[in-house]
Chains A and B, each alone.
Chain A
Amino acid sequence: MFPASFEYVRAHSPDEAFDALQKHGYDGRVLAGGQSLIPAMRYRLARPAVLVDINPISELSYLKEEDGFLRIGATTRDAALEFAPWVRERYSLITSVSAVVADPIVRHMGTVVGSVCHNDPAGDWTATALAARGVVVIRGKEGLREVPIDEFLVDSYTTAVEEGEMALELKIPIPDARTQGSYQKIERKVGDYATCAAAVQLSLNEDGTIRQAGIAITAAGPIAMRVAAAEAMLIGQRPTLELLRAASEEAPKIATPNADQRGSAEYKKDMTRVLVGRGLKQALERLGAVSA
């Protein structure tokens, strides 16, 4: 199917993209990897009047560590994270996500920033950014502003990016040696959106107690959600399987999944508990700190 007609603007720099977006206001839309936008346009679920193609902006294609953050540029593909050996070595949460988002071909075009900007209720990167306490850098009229992912994700397909603005990068705090994560996703087949998924990241203090916990679920409501009660329950505690089990019980309390061809609401609700539990256990195993 052909999408509806649109005016195409090719941007070669962030300034060019921003100017075009400012000029077209509500009619303008950023075109990143197109892996969500183009299907939506083909189904005529979206018919933007103007597309601002940011793919030619090579200066936004980067993956680097700076000032304590892993910085992921707006045109950096999912595959770049998947194939970078240093990311594989040190970012266990990101590594376990980047291999299960969509399928390998889609990952060569889809971008991490595009995915959080799309804010699909079943997005994998949104939940990951929540668990890893990401920050999105937005270029707005008054210059740059940094928005914590919790405020960035407003509602299904809605983010803190306002009309005429664009996201420049996602920043993820660099995990220290006592931080590990895990992504747990149930899908019907490879390349499918999650039936339900959980992103988990744990940091330990030197004495073995939990310093920080990031826990988020996706495909379990209108938007990926932080399981704050579970996080709070873990902080300052010594991790035991009993405690992790108790924390996982918090997930179904906030989950509001819809029944669809991937499963009933009851099933998905219960899976949030199972997946959070598995994720916590795997993170702890990766920390070499499982205790009974």
Chain B
Amino acid sequence: MTKTQNMEALGADFAGIDVPNIVTVSIRINGKVVTRAVPSRMLLVHFIREEAGLTGTHVGCDSSSCGVCTVLLDGSTPVKSCTMFAVMAHGRDVKTVESLAVGGTLHPVQQAFWDQHGLQCGYCTPGMMMTALALLERNPNPSEHDIREGLSGNLCRCTGYNNIVKAVQQAAGAMSASSAADPSAADD
């Protein structure tokens, strides 16, 4: 039996079960609108990686617990993009790690991870940085406890968390210094 015949033979059993339901999804990702017709069951992380071609957002645990897929929704709400359907983000705004560096200059959070050795393999890093950014947005001056608690939905298998915590502390300092220097940034 050829592969096609095989599929046809199986077709009867699968009828009506896995027929993809197609929806048109438009998401503003890092300022650029991406519109695609995709299966309704497509997860946001796959839309970001495969449809928008932005592979900085990773897939890790497949159980909604590691946080490597974290992106920011509508400004600064961190969400696990593996636990959201792409269609749920239709018409909304998503920020991924690719939005951080501007014109080749690292974002203070990225610079801090670099300076403090907050990464080794880097797999967890995009999710860590997006979560850290959301945390700093809400709490510009977090205690060590706040940082550990705030990052507790993100797992790192490499570094241990000390350098990551130090990186977020450095970023907090750098970001509040720059918003003090630039009054327009504080209004955002």
What's the minimum C-beta distance from B140 to chain A, rounded to whole angstroms? 15
- Name the interface residues of A189-242: CB closer than 8 Å to any CB of B: 190-191
The docked-state distance in angstroms from the alpha carbon of A41 to that of B88 is 15
What's the minimum C-beta distance from B139 to chain A, rounded to whole angstroms? 10
A34-B83, A104-B152, A105-B79 known; A4 vs B17 contact (CB < 8 Å): yes
Tell me, yes or no, whether B26 is within 8 Å of chain A by CB. no
Q: Is A106 in contact with B153, judged by CB distance below 8 angstroms?
A: yes
Q: Is B149 in contact with A105, judged by CB distance below 8 angstroms?
A: no
The docked-state distance in angstroms from the alpha carbon of A191 to that of B150 is 11
Q: Is B85 in contact with A8, judged by CB distance below 8 angstroms?
A: yes
Count residues of chain A with CB under 8 A from any CB of chain B. 30
Interfacial chain B residues near A39, Cβ < 8 Å: 63-64, 83
Binary CB contact string for chain B from 144 to 173 against chain A (1 if under 8 A, 0 otherwise): 000001101110000000000000000000
Tell me, yes or no, whether B19 is within 8 Å of chain A by CB. yes
Tell me, yes or no, whether A88 is within 8 Å of chain B by CB. no
Tell me, yes or no, whether A274 is within 8 Å of chain B by CB. no
Tell me, yes or no, whether A108 is within 8 Å of chain B by CB. yes
Closest to A108 in B: B77
Tell me, yes or no, whether A35 is within 8 Å of chain B by CB. yes
The docked-state distance in angstroms from the alpha carbon of A67 to that of B157 is 50
A34-B85, A35-B64 known; A108 vs B78 contact (CB < 8 Å): yes
- Name the interface residues of B104-157: CB closer than 8 Å to any CB of A: 131, 138, 149-150, 152-154
What's the minimum C-beta distance from A260 to chain B, rounded to whole angstroms? 16
Interfacial chain B residues near A108, Cβ < 8 Å: 77-79
Q: Is B77 in contact with A6, judged by CB distance below 8 angstroms?
A: no
The docked-state distance in angstroms from the alpha carbon of A5 to that of B23 is 12
Closest to B69 in A: A105
What's the minimum C-beta distance from A220 to chain B, rounded to whole angstroms? 23
Contacts across chains A and B counted by CB atoms under 8 Å: 90
Tell me, yes or no, whether A2 is within 8 Å of chain B by CB. yes
Tell me, yes or no, whether B30 is within 8 Å of chain A by CB. no
Tell me, yes or no, whether A3 is within 8 Å of chain B by CB. yes
Tell me, yes or no, whether B97 is within 8 Å of chain A by CB. no
What's the minimum C-beta distance from A251 to chain B, rounded to whole angstroms? 28
The docked-state distance in angstroms from the alpha carbon of A191 to that of B151 is 11
Closest to A35 in B: B83
Tell me, yes or no, whether A1 is within 8 Å of chain B by CB. yes
Q: Is B65 in contact with A191, judged by CB distance below 8 angstroms?
A: yes
Tell me, yes or no, whether A163 is within 8 Å of chain B by CB. no
Q: Is A190 in contact with B152, judged by CB distance below 8 angstroms?
A: yes
A105-B131, A190-B149 known; A5 vs B83 contact (CB < 8 Å): no
The docked-state distance in angstroms from the alpha carbon of A8 to that of B88 is 10
- Name the interface residues of A235-291: CB closer than 8 Å to any CB of B: none
What's the minimum C-beta distance from B99 to chain A, rounded to whole angstroms? 18
Binary CB contact string for chain A from 1 to 16 against chain B (1 if under 8 A, 0 otherwise): 1111111101000000
A103-B152, A105-B153, A191-B153 known; A55 vs B19 contact (CB < 8 Å): no
- Name the interface residues of A27-73: CB closer than 8 Å to any CB of B: 31, 34-35, 38-39, 41-42, 51, 53, 55
What's the minimum C-beta distance from A109 to chain B, rounded to whole angstroms? 6
- Name the interface residues of B69-101: CB closer than 8 Å to any CB of A: 70, 77-80, 83-85, 87-88, 90
* 4 other A-B residue contacts (CB within 8 Å) besides A103-B65, A104-B153: A5-B39, A5-B41, A35-B64, A106-B153
Q: Which 10 A-B pairs have the closest CB atoms?
A: A103-B153, A190-B152, A8-B40, A105-B153, A105-B78, A3-B41, A38-B83, A39-B64, A108-B77, A7-B21
List 20 A–B pairs whose Cβ atoms lie within 8 Å, in order of A's numbering.
A2-B39, A2-B42, A2-B43, A2-B46, A3-B41, A4-B18, A5-B17, A5-B20, A5-B39, A8-B85, A10-B90, A34-B85, A34-B88, A38-B83, A42-B43, A104-B131, A104-B149, A105-B154, A106-B83, A191-B153
